[in-house]
Structure 1
């Protein structure tokens, strides 16, 4: 097996997966430690990153990290701040949806707790930053298998070439092939739900307000985008979601109006609609010798709290800090003592969020009157407790628990 020409004999870190998490990890490492050698392998070409029509909710802590990585100023110009959030709970046939819970959209000093950022801007910005910093790309490229030795990992690509690295990081998604090859088991189950994702135009402005409507089939989230546009994350039973995605525009828009309502005027679909199966998948371990999981490869959770991508950014900030500190002390970045620090930092927080989203989904995705009465009483109680609401905002902003430096807006 041949090593690609012109590459170092051994990389410090090789990342399998060139999505948000993989790219931001490479940029974080190279920004803090330019001498570190880093490579990214991804099965898709990097030239198509700008074509993703979706948008992502970026918590305040994650935007601080992106600022430290030198890309937030570009993204902020076209990002939509979330100024307010409301929560309703109703049946689909209800003509009135009372608001049980409201959140102001600020953390401290007028900083919004989240922004909606177009994926077609964020991915190219991270890719460009990685290129400028000297990250090596094998894209398109597929990681086929790997073998761990005492002081390195040999990674074999689909074309037969081989890379050698001190640490292999799997950022290859919820169906991670490398996680399975590493023998890491998962806790997982299927919710029998799918999330329909699309974008709509509406007649009246949203004023930066996000909405979460708890309906019997699952949460229906409306997230503001620049202009009179909003991103939807619409949860339905899988069979119903598949039927809706395949339906004609008239049927789809009719069902959409029943859930969206008419408070923003006339609606118009403004992008493709896709359905993604929803489930819970948590890795039992985040690390093995010379191997680490980040992002969806480590955890796939329900989108009910909008924290999936932000959990991945927390992984990035924690792992980058651990690895950079190790290199500055002359330690081996692939050593288990180093990787265990990352695992202790991130595993409990991830499991906690997985449990919270699981409980919330089960509590709110039903039409049982007794349960509805109890949860609505609880939402109303929270709405009257400013300190508890502030804690929820802190959690949603990404500032709860021990926060890595990048998420606090500090360089590593």
Structure 2
């Protein structure tokens, strides 16, 4: 029997960051991960570029992650624009609305994962148990119990699930989640383009497709295209020359000529919100708790917020000699995380529904709402503040 204070299921960015957040206060922490450690030590590029708020950057600095990422791999998100249909008119969201130098930053997901792994490996409080397949999970008043396929038994005071929006741990604990499959697939890749982006992010709700552009350093951008699965499969199968031509055409040549600069990756567009974020000696974090729609680019930011809240509650309890898995403690985390995430989760669904509707009435409402939002300065400042989370 292996005994720990906290066991975390999942060594993705959320699980690794949470382990790092609670390390250093005298707790014994274990991370259970299905993948071999070699894949954590050198994660492959997966196409995903993560938009980080200023608050998230501060959390990553406090966790010792930011310092492990090459400055040249961190891009500024100076401003943003929202476009609708074929029109050149855009709602402009500018960084100086909140008196900051930028709305935020852009960092590749695999670099965040690598930095988090390196930080965790440097901590004497954290044990990584990789290539670990879980066969059974339970909790009671006395502890959390995990059985592994290799026969190992693990016990802890608190079990934390960080194993994606499709969390098997959440399901094993009997916690349902509201999941919505938009019936679309996102393709992500890096493109080089001849017209500069000026570090402006795009969210373009074109008719029949949604395009996003996240500006990287130089003349490259992370491009996200959302289409029905069959259309994405066709895009993925095109040779490079055909692909370059089609992407430039889909962007209506507003970025000039475009060349593929990375591998292509596809992900189903599915959101998830757990019916409860905690149970007896159990908590959900990251996408296992709240799997956001990417339209606001807030998924990992919300994950870091929840990690920070739960870690602070645990460290405070530890310093007072209290139960780190007390029901009241877990309820406080749930209440704070729901208050932070629920309104935007619901709002993004409404936005996605409206801007994914190409009927004539919806097109008129889309255009009118964009112009109205652009003309109301307090609204734009509120949006800028939500995107930056600057203090």
Place the TM-score, normalised by the shorter chain, in its bin: over 0.9
Aligned pair count? 386
Q: Which residue of 2 aligns with 1:84?
A: 79
Are 2:308 and 1:317 equivalent residues in the alignment? yes
Are 2:65 and 1:71 equivalent residues in the alignment? yes
**1:218–1:361 Cα contact (<8 Å) kept:** no
Q: 3-state SS of the aligned residue for 2:80?
A: strand
Q: Measure how far apart 1:189 and its partner are.
A: 2.3
Q: Which residue of 2 aligns with 1:6?
A: none
Q: 2:9 aligns with which of 16, 19, 37?
A: 16
Instruction: Find the aligned partners of 2:143 and 2:64 in 1 and give their Cα distance.
Output: 31
Supply the RMSD in Å over aligned alpha carbons: 1.8
- Residues 55-85 of structure 1, C-alpha deviations (whole Å, 9 max, x = no match): 2111211101001112223436120011111
Q: Measure how far apart 1:249 and its partner are.
A: 2.8
Decide whether aligned partners of structure 1 residues 221 and 140 sit closer, same or farther in structure 2, where only a CA change above 3 A counts: same
- Residues 180-206 of structure 1, C-alpha deviations (whole Å, 9 max, x = no match): 010001112211111111111112432
**1:39–1:138 Cα contact (<8 Å) kept:** yes
Misfit runs of 4+, over 6 Å: none
**2:248–2:256 Cα contact (<8 Å) kept:** no
Instruction: Find the aligned partners of 1:168 and 1:132 in 2 and give their Cα distance.
Output: 22
Q: Which residue of 2 aligns with 1:45?
A: 36
Q: 2:182 aligns with which of 191, 208, 213?
A: 191
Are 2:50 and 1:56 equivalent residues in the alignment? yes
Instruction: Find the aligned partners of 2:281 and 2:33 in 1 and give their Cα distance.
Output: 20
Instruction: Find the aligned partners of 2:171 and 2:259 in 1 and give their Cα distance.
Output: 42
Decide whether aligned partners of structure 1 residues 104 and 349 sit closer, same or farther in structure 2, where only a CA change above 3 A counts: same
Instruction: Find the aligned partners of 2:369 and 2:187 in 1 and give their Cα distance.
Output: 28
Instruction: Find the aligned partners of 1:144 and 1:285 in 2 and give their Cα distance.
Output: 23
Instruction: Find the aligned partners of 2:273 and 2:368 in 1 and give their Cα distance.
Output: 31
Decide whether aligned partners of structure 1 residues 106 and 74 sit closer, same or farther in structure 2, where only a CA change above 3 A counts: farther
Q: Which residue of 1 aligns with 2:107?
A: 117
Q: 3-state SS of the aligned residue for 2:215?
A: strand
Are 2:286 and 1:285 equivalent residues in the alignment? no
Q: Measure how far apart 1:258 and its partner are.
A: 2.0
Gaps of 5+ in 2: none
**2:186–2:268 Cα contact (<8 Å) kept:** yes
Instruction: Find the aligned partners of 1:393 and 1:156 in 2 and give their Cα distance.
Output: 46
Gaps of 5+ in 1: 4-8, 400-407
Q: 2:118 aligns with which of 121, 128, 143?
A: 128
Decide whether aligned partners of structure 1 residues 53 and 280 sit closer, same or farther in structure 2, where only a CA change above 3 A counts: closer
Q: 3-state SS of the aligned residue for 1:10?
A: strand
